[in-house]
Amino acid sequence: MSVWPSKIPSLDQFPVTEYAISFSLDRLTPGVDNNRYDVYLSDTFCKVSDQFILHTIEDNAMPGKGREIAGKGSGAVEKNQFKNSYREVMLSAINRAKAEREIQVDYIARTAVAKMLIQGIAVCYDKFIATIRLLIREKENSGRFYMDDAVVLKAELSEILLNKDPIIRATGKIIFEHINDVDQKELNGIRKSNFGMDSILPEDLFLNPFLHIEKNNDYFMIDTYDILPGQRIDDADKYDLLLSSIKKHLRSMGRPGLSQKGSKDHGTGGVVSDKQVDAWIKQIGNVDLLFDFVSTRELYRAQRKQGKKRKELKALRQMAQRQHRMLRFFYKKLKSSGVVERICASYEIRSVYPEYCPPLVPQVILQFMIVPGTRKVSINRLKRLAKINQVPFSARSLKRCQKRIKGLRTSQKEAYLIRFFKGFFRYHRDFENFKLLERAMALVYLVKEENHIRLSRVNNTLYEFLLSHESTTEEKPVISHTILKVDIRGSTDIVHKMKEQGLNPASYFSLNMFDPITEIIPEYGAFKVFVEGDAMILGIYERQESPEGWYSIARACGLATHILLIIQQYNRKNRKYDFPFLEVGIGITFRKGQPTLFFDGDFQIMISSAINMADRLSGCSKAARKIMDSMDTPFNNYVFQTASNEDVVATSDDISRRYNVNGIELHPSAFNKLSQEIRLKPVECVIPKIQSEKIKFFTGIFPTVTGRNQWLIIREGIIPNVHEHDLGLIAMTDRKYYEVCTNAAVYDYFKKHEF
């Protein structure tokens, strides 16, 4: 590669992205003090959390011995109880957020849980210390036989007190990683389906190391962020001074009309704002993007050996040049203020400071390396301490380190600068997020007093998040219902064929079709309305103040696709025994309000217009069937208008002709309801194996009753006006119909293209 040009690049030559977080509680209702938000967390969850925290502290403080002090218990059981109760509490929060159409309800629940856990860790640490002290007193009072044990325990207690900060940090890290695991694997899918991708908070917000420290010291900075910035007022690499300098340089490189992916104008008319620069710094990946020319150059060389296209190689070469120019620019700016020297020294002392710290701290060793006036004082102090403790003292390691720092090559210094930027950017992001979350936690009042709870509850200002067994069990009124009609065709032929062979059709149908369907119905919150040999009608209720069940259309769609799978398995058995195949058509409809119910003896009968409409949707016109069966149709459900436009307008009835062979049709009102239940993403695409024209789909995920996420793809079709005798096209109408897709090629295409 040629010599690097010296021209300073502009930021608009880099596809930098912004760190985005949308987190606020400003739309929520304050509690009874009109200042803070009243939150009541499940008592069971709080108790389970305390138990798990206490044992985690024990394991961190006294590995392998903690359980002997505060009682034995199964760590795995406690962990699972903690995660399960957290999941249930957060599901209650998500359901309330869904009911109120306000994602901030979920945010305040997460903030309250974080505050409760942080407080719980501090309290449990004190409990653990108190338990050890009590045990020491018991052993001391039990006679000389236990005195040795008491001495050992005292020594261990001293060590635990000395390591308080690391123990609390380690405990907090473990606890919050467990709740993050539940969020990532189980809860975020539900959040996404209800509120969209924008509702998902970044992992680093609640995995923030700052949540678990009492004070920021050198060891925390080195261990957590791999940096050791200055702390004195005149230190050139002091956090706020260095941040201001970096922002100033980045802002000066911004150009009007930035168009990077992920970068926005923020309403500044093309002028780079402080908010935008801050968002660049918080995005850790921008460090490699802006400065890591070495990796880009290595990639260039590797791809050149592979014979990549010139255009691709040229782009890599130019990017490496721009990155090196950017790094050199910052290197020169920071070197002139003495920052580079301090950064390099902070990394070189890593192999030295454990020899002298304690009694010194890493900052003193750093000052020793770069401020000659401090060296004599530090050495004299170390000599005095060595004499008092009667241990040998040597400054040899310090002098060798000094020599290494003086001999560092420019390339090594540049590598240290990139390494520092990574840690510094991450530190800045976490520090700012901590301040954001700290402000939010200060606004949350964790209510414990019964009088306060009652007063806040009657005033509708209490944010209450409970486990299911703690909630009231009375059944809420039905506010809407969904009907799923399965039109079963071919059962008569199968019965006839089986009877001819002396077989029992009732048990065959029951074991292979009706029983498997009955088993999956609870997963979708459904119930049987009516079942007969050639028809099955299922219902799903939505109840007042029960948002966990407000997925009736989504779950009906999922249930319908599952029923089709069972029918396919059934038909595979029919093929084996040379029986006729079963065929179905499924229709899904929705109505607000409760259906009319009455009883014939013990038999409950439902009356609803939704049943009549579902019957229409599940049917299949013989005339349409005759024509469509001769065609290669990629989907299972088509709707045609054979009447005139005037006739369609003149009636409220559905007079369309349908082709529904192993298909699922969703009524337009049900589709509208579905779009309120979950976030549907519209996708228009051509699927080569299916159709050469663009097709409009909607895709989304929903949770079943047990919390399992299921994927849906809905096809939107336009109803054509056709001739009745041959379905020849007259004109396209503006009316639409919706099919729940079961075509495997569609799902494969969507998976491949990550829609």
User: What percent of the chain lies above the pLDDT cut of 90?
Assistant: 51
Is the pLDDT at 71 greater than 60, yes or no? no
Tokens 């299949």, located at residue: 620
Is the pLDDT at 456 greater than 60, yes or no? yes
Q: Which token pair is 485?
A: 């009609």
**If you average pLDDT over residues 79-94, what whole number do you get?**
94
Q: Distances in Å between the alpha carbon of 55 and those of 79, 233, 253, 432, 718?
A: 10, 42, 52, 31, 61
- Distance between CA atoms of 659 and 628, rounded to whole angstroms? 8
What pLDDT, on a 0 to 100 scale, did the predictor assign at position 11?
Answer: 82
420, 422, 423, 429 alpha-carbon torsion, rounded to 10°? 140
Confidence tier at 147 by pLDDT (50, 70, 90)? low
What pLDDT, on a 0 to 100 scale, did the predictor assign at position 74?
Answer: 56
Tokens 């009109």, located at residue: 34
pLDDT in tens, 570-605: 888 888 888 888 899 999 999 998 888 766 656 677
Q: What is the largest CA-CA distance in the chain?
A: 109
Confidence tier at 7 by pLDDT (50, 70, 90)? low
- Distance between CA atoms of 32 and 455, rounded to whole angstroms? 7
Is the pLDDT at 487 greater than 80, yes or no? yes
What pLDDT, on a 0 to 100 scale, did the predictor assign at position 262?
Answer: 43
Residue 563 near residue 486 (C-beta atoms within 8 A) = yes
Q: How far apart are the first and last CA of the chain?
A: 40
What pLDDT, on a 0 to 100 scale, did the predictor assign at position 413?
Answer: 93
- Distance between CA atoms of 709 and 715, rounded to whole angstroms? 20
What pLDDT, on a 0 to 100 scale, did the predictor assign at position 144?
Answer: 62
Element (H, E) at 177: helix 164-182
Decide which of 178 and 494 is more confident: 178
Percentages helix, strand, coil for the chain, rounded to the nearest 5?
Answer: 55, 15, 30
Q: Quick check: helix, strand or coil at residue 371?
A: coil
pLDDT in tens, 348-358: 999 988 888 88
Least confident among 353-357, 483-487, 731-735: 353-357
Confidence tier at 499 by pLDDT (50, 70, 90)? confident
**If you average pLDDT over residues 692-714, what whole number do you get?**
93
Q: Which token pair is 296?
A: 């880009």
Q: What angle do CA 673, 674, 676 make, to 5 degrees?
A: 65
- Distance between CA atoms of 725 and 295, rounded to whole angstroms? 69
Is the pLDDT at 44 greater than 90, yes or no? yes
Q: Which residues pair with 714 in a beta bridge?
A: 698, 740
- Distance between CA atoms of 364 and 370, rounded to whole angstroms? 10
The H-assigned helical ranges of 390-509 are 396-406, 410-442, 450-458, 491-500, 505-509
Residue 321 near residue 5 (C-beta atoms within 8 A) = yes
Q: Which residues pair with 599 in a beta bridge?
A: 604
**If you average pLDDT over residues 322-351, what whole number do you get?**
92
Q: Quick check: helix, strand or coil at residue 100?
A: helix
Candidates 616, 597, 704; CA nearest to 668 is: 616
Residues of the chain with CATH 3.30.70.1230: 478-753
62-66, 321-325, 454-458, 600-604, range with greatest mean pLDDT:
321-325
What pLDDT, on a 0 to 100 scale, did the predictor assign at position 64?
Answer: 64
Sequence-distant (≥ 6) Cβ neighbours of residue 349 within 8 angstroms: 362, 365, 366, 369, 401
The amino acid that residue 410 corresponds to is T
Least confident among 254-263, 338-347, 452-461, 584-593: 254-263
Candidates 175, 170, 206, 171; CA nearest to 188 is: 206
Q: Which token pair is 552?
A: 């009736």
What pLDDT, on a 0 to 100 scale, did the predictor assign at position 466?
Answer: 93
What pLDDT, on a 0 to 100 scale, did the predictor assign at position 387?
Answer: 79
Sequence-distant (≥ 6) Cβ neighbours of residue 583 within 8 angstroms: 488, 489, 490, 661, 662
Is the pLDDT at 166 greater than 70, yes or no? yes
Is the pLDDT at 226 greater than 90, yes or no? yes
Q: Looking at residue 581, what DSSP letter applies?
A: P
Element (H, E) at 513: none
CATH superfamily of 478-753: Nucleotide cyclase, GGDEF domain (3.30.70.1230)
Q: Quick check: helix, strand or coil at residue 697?
A: strand
Decide which of 68 and 30 is more confident: 30
Decide which of 727 and 700 is more confident: 700
Residue 421 near residue 399 (C-beta atoms within 8 A) = no
Residue 722 near residue 730 (C-beta atoms within 8 A) = yes
Q: Quick check: helix, strand or coil at residue 568?
A: helix
DSSP 114-145: HHHHHHHHHHHHHHHHHHHHHHHHHHHTT-GG
Residue 17 near residue 263 (C-beta atoms within 8 A) = yes
Q: Taking the CB of residue 194, how many other CB atoms lie within 10 A of it?
A: 25
pLDDT in tens, 269-305: 456 788 889 999 999 999 999 999 999 899 888 888 8
Tell me the whole-structure pTM to 2 decimals: 0.75
Confidence tier at 266 by pLDDT (50, 70, 90)? very low
Q: Distances in Å between the alpha carbon of 45 and those of 78, 96, 117, 445, 650?
A: 12, 18, 11, 17, 59
Confidence tier at 256 by pLDDT (50, 70, 90)? very low
User: What percent of the chain lies above the pLDDT cut of 70?
Assistant: 93
DSSP 12-74: GGS-----------TTSPP-TTSSSEEEEE-HHHHHHHHHHHHHHHHHHHSTTTHHHHH----
Is the pLDDT at 391 greater than 80, yes or no? no
pLDDT in tens, 601-657: 566 778 899 999 999 999 999 888 888 888 878 899 999 988 888 887 777 777 888
Tokens 């998976």, located at residue: 751
What pLDDT, on a 0 to 100 scale, did the predictor assign at position 693?
Answer: 87
- Distance between CA atoms of 25 and 107, rounded to whole angstroms? 7
Element (H, E) at 584: strand 583-592
